[in-house]
Amino acid sequence: MLPLKRRKVSSANSGASASHSRDEACKFPQVVLYLLERKMGTSRRSFLTELGRGKGFRVDENFTESVTHVISEKNSSDEVRRWLSSRGHHATPVHLLDVSWFTESLSEGRPVDILSSHRLTDEQPQLESGGEQMATFSLPVYACQRRTGLNHHNEVFTDALSLLAENAELCQDEGRALAFRRAAAALKALPEPVTDVRRLRGCPCLGQRSLAVIQDILENGTSQEAESTRRCERYRAMKLLTGIFGVGAKTADLWFREGVRNLPQLRRSGRILNRAQRAGVAHYDDLMRGVTRAEAHAVVQIAREAAVAELPGAQLTLAGGFRRGKPSGHDVDLLITHPQEGLEEGLIPKMVARLEAQDFLLYHKSSKKSNSGSSGASSMDGFERCLCIFKLPEPDDGGLWRAIRVDLTVVPAGQSAFALLGWTGSKLFERELRRWASREKNMSLSSHALYDNRQGEYLEAATEEEIFAHLSLEYVPPTERNA
């Protein structure tokens, strides 16, 4: 990479003046730190800087020749040198250290001895053992910086990792679930199949556990851990029970511990089910069957007629997996809005009454907009919504129908771009967008708004493209958000 700009660093006095006011408070004059923003991110860098200064470390804002210790996160020493040189700094600082040295020093309250594990290592020479073939994959860290289509090259691995993620979710171990989900997402974005784990060295989001799963599959054709999970009685029962509409991991776990393994046992147990669960049990087979795109469009048609009859000019958008190009899904996610903001208010109860009168609803539960007005940027449930089970007539009629889960959400026009982005998914893509916003941009993104914490203001957007631009991200079209 060619240096973009070569700025000559002018001798020691720039370093001295930059930190003049801090010198008095500085307890360790022989140590001058510089934190590399690359991969660390702006907000973490300023957080660590403040922490360091609070403990009496001199942390310089700019890299100068007085810097003795360069602290970086997830960079090789080569990457740090290249980065410094691309900014016109050719002098080599005394120490290139991993952030672990800094965090240990912070907790000791003094610069700790530098161990070899603290020093940044060089990149693995890529020409060793097989040249090009062994070059490691390079991927951006956040899933929202990558394009992930529906089809990819690593299904054997992502199937196993997704199963393990699902099992972790059923065990309510969110941290582990997320680690497996992120690992699967990274593999989905690779340009070719993984044939050697060494090529994954340095890839973001691949922890030891996930790498072990991949290694196992490469060596044995299957992952022992995934296969034994698939056969595990608890996993099977929990998957079946949480498959019931209205049953989450907590309820399923309780039932499992009381000996319930399947639907007949649940029925025999005489347990009192709530209204949603009763509907879930009654329509279990239909709801497990998955919704085709044709069925989704039929639902859109019915919902659109009801919406427009109650509010002329109402606009419906099919979001969720179908908008990402999936051929089938577990439900139909519908966003409803009206160009004239305010007119959409109160639409849900009217639509529901109409659909019910037409015998299109087997179940529905509406939630009102939280009227506190202070739901904040992180709130996800501020919209007028209705979770329904539709009774969809079969195309050839004959009185046959099937049950379909439908999620209706009414959105004020000013928030519709945020809602569309939030409701298109995938879930991991959404999560990564929000993580990017807060960690890298100091902003809070929700399905309602984007808030810039530094400027203290909301950033408006009429389209998804504008939201990506606010976040300094390249636009990712819906069909490439299948992370």
The stretch among 69-77, 189-197, 254-262, 325-333 that binds ligand UTP (CB under 6 A) is: 325-333
Tell me which residue has tokens 């001058």. Answer: 32
CB-based contact 238:252 (threshold 8 Å): yes
Which residue of the set 159, 173, 196, 407 is catalytic? 407
401 forms beta bridges with 393
CA distance 271 to 191: 50
CB-based contact 205:182 (threshold 8 Å): yes
- Least Å distance, CB 292 to ligand UTP, is 11
Asked whether the CA dihedral 426, 431, 436, 437 is positive or negative, the reply is positive
Is there a cis peptide before residue 426, judged by omega within 30 degrees of 0? yes
Walk across the sheet containing 95-98 and list its strands. 58-60, 32-35, 69-72, 95-98
Instruction: State yes or no: residue 430 binds ligand UTP (CB under 6 A).
Output: yes
Instruction: State yes or no: residue 169 binds Mn ion (CB under 5 A).
Output: no
Q: Say how many residues touch Mn ion, by CB under 5 A.
A: 5
CA distance 199 to 347: 53
CB atoms within 10 A of CB 70: 25
Interface residue with ligand UTP among 422, 433, 441, 450 (CB under 6 A) is: 422
Asked whether the CA dihedral 198, 202, 204, 207 is positive or negative, the reply is positive
Residue 407 appears among annotated catalytic residues: yes
Instruction: State yes or no: residue 384 binds ligand UTP (CB under 6 A).
Output: no
Instruction: State yes or no: residue 422 binds Mn ion (CB under 5 A).
Output: no
CA distance 311 to 68: 67
Task: From the list Mn ion, ligand UTP, none, pick the one residue 426 interacts with, judged by a Cβ distance below 5 to 8 Å according to partner type.
Answer: ligand UTP
78 forms beta bridges with none
CA distance 73 to 78: 13
The three-state (H, E, C) secondary structure of 264-297, written as one string: HHHHHCCCCCCHHHHHHHHCHHHHHCCEEHHHHH
- Least Å distance, CB 422 to Mn ion, is 12
Residues whose CB falls within 8 Å of the CB of residue 192, separated by 6 or more in sequence, listed in order: 153
Which residue of the set 98, 333, 359, 397 is catalytic? 333
Looking at the Cβ atoms of 79 and 333, the one nearer to ligand UTP is 333
Looking at the Cβ atoms of 317 and 426, the one nearer to ligand UTP is 426
Q: For Mn ion, which residue has the nearest CB?
A: 320
Instruction: State yes or no: residue 101 binds ligand UTP (CB under 6 A).
Output: no
Instruction: State yes or no: residue 331 binds ligand UTP (CB under 6 A).
Output: yes
Using CB under 5 A as the binding rule, the residues of this chain from 305 to 334 that contact Mn ion are: 320-321, 329, 331, 333
Task: From the list Mn ion, ligand UTP, none, pick the one residue 162 interacts with, judged by a Cβ distance below 5 to 8 Å according to partner type.
Answer: none
Interface residue with ligand UTP among 146, 326, 338, 364 (CB under 6 A) is: 326
Helix (H) or strand (E) holding 58: strand 58-60
Instruction: State yes or no: residue 464 binds ligand UTP (CB under 6 A).
Output: no
- Least Å distance, CB 267 to Mn ion, is 28
The stretch among 91-99, 292-300, 327-335, 357-365 that binds ligand UTP (CB under 6 A) is: 327-335
CA distance 303 to 405: 13
Instruction: State yes or no: residue 382 binds ligand UTP (CB under 6 A).
Output: no
Looking at the Cβ atoms of 88 and 246, the one nearer to ligand UTP is 246
Going by the DSSP 8-state scheme, the letter that residue 376 receives in this structure is -
Instruction: State yes or no: residue 280 binds ligand UTP (CB under 6 A).
Output: no
Instruction: State yes or no: residue 41 binds Mn ion (CB under 5 A).
Output: no
CB atoms within 10 A of CB 20: 9
Q: Say how many residues touch ligand UTP, by CB under 6 A.
A: 15
Task: Tell me which residues touch ligand UTP (CB under 6 A).
Answer: 320-321, 326, 329-331, 333, 380, 422-423, 425-427, 430, 447
Task: Tell me which residues touch Mn ion (CB under 5 A).
Answer: 320-321, 329, 331, 333
Residues assigned a catalytic role = 331, 333, 407
